[in-house]
Homo-oligomer: A and B are copies of this chain.
Amino acid sequence: MVEKSEHIVRSYEEQLKKLREMIARMGGLAERQVADAAYALVRRDTELAAEVIGRDGEIDQLERDIENFCVRLLALRQPMAGDLRFIIAAMKVSNAIERIGDYARNCAKRAVVIAQQPQLTGFSSFQWMAKLVQENLKESIDALVNQDATAAERVWAADASVDDVYNGIFRELLTHMMEDTRNITAATHLLFVAKNYERIGDHATNIAETVFYSVRGAGLPDERPKGDTSPFAVARPPA
């Protein structure tokens, strides 16, 4: 009997380990999508953009695999307390990563159109923003895999700088539109690209919140102040 129960425990630990690996793999794929979509945009590389679009299905499949795996764990293992919270968190996080994948794919689609339009300046901000959200995404996934609440709290606080870069890009693009109507198509798509990266940053923050709750069993103290002021932005036509 002792042997058998040890075997069951070991196999349960292995299943939780497998779940962590699946999440880490899914997160790694999403990070790459986020980085490649930004690279394709900045370098006007439509082939890379097409690759990003094509790879999204892999992330979608991993979400389904993780959900099925978690439902089976819940049904067969009937986990309690920390393990239960971890499995719920894994499902929520894989759902968020799937959304992140969709945003990256949408950026890649727009990169294809933007590559055929007159080139605008100010792309370095996009690379900067993509890098910031990619780092936050990586740290929040690592925090889940390592069950590290302190790291999760750090990511949660870091999103404010993403919002700052986004607000700057938003205003710059409106100015481009005002200056020359030939910029409108490219600038409009770039507005959505910037918004997508801002949303990816939001999701990374949400992942961090989920991880913190799953480890500590309690939420973060207050709502993070929302730094995106662009819904209130007004641009004036050039004088």
Contact = CB atoms under 8 A, between A and B. Distances in A.
Contact of A109 (B92, B95, B177, B231): B231
Nearest to A70: B88
A110 B231 contact: yes
A109 B185 contact: no
**Which applies to chain A's interface (DSSP): helix, strand, loop or mixed?**
helix
Given A91-B91, A181-B237, 6 more contacts: A75-B84, A174-B188, A177-B188, A178-B181, A178-B184, A191-B192
A232 B109 contact: yes
Interface string A138-170: 000000000000000000000000000000000
A113 interface: yes
A84 to B, nearest CB: 6
Contacts of A181: 177-178, 181, 237-238
Nearest to A184: B177
Contacts of A16: none
* Interface size range of chain A in the complex: 35 or more
A112 interface: yes
Given A71-B84, A80-B75, A84-B74, A234 B185 contact: yes
A71 B89 CA distance: 11
A88 B85 contact: no
B95 A71 contact: no
A80 B77 CA distance: 11
Given A184-B174, A237-B182, A231 B84 contact: no
Interface in A160-217: 174, 177-178, 181-182, 184-185, 188-189, 191-192, 195
Contacts of A191: 188, 191-192
Interface in A67-110: 67, 71, 74-75, 78, 80-81, 84-85, 88, 91-92, 95, 106, 109-110
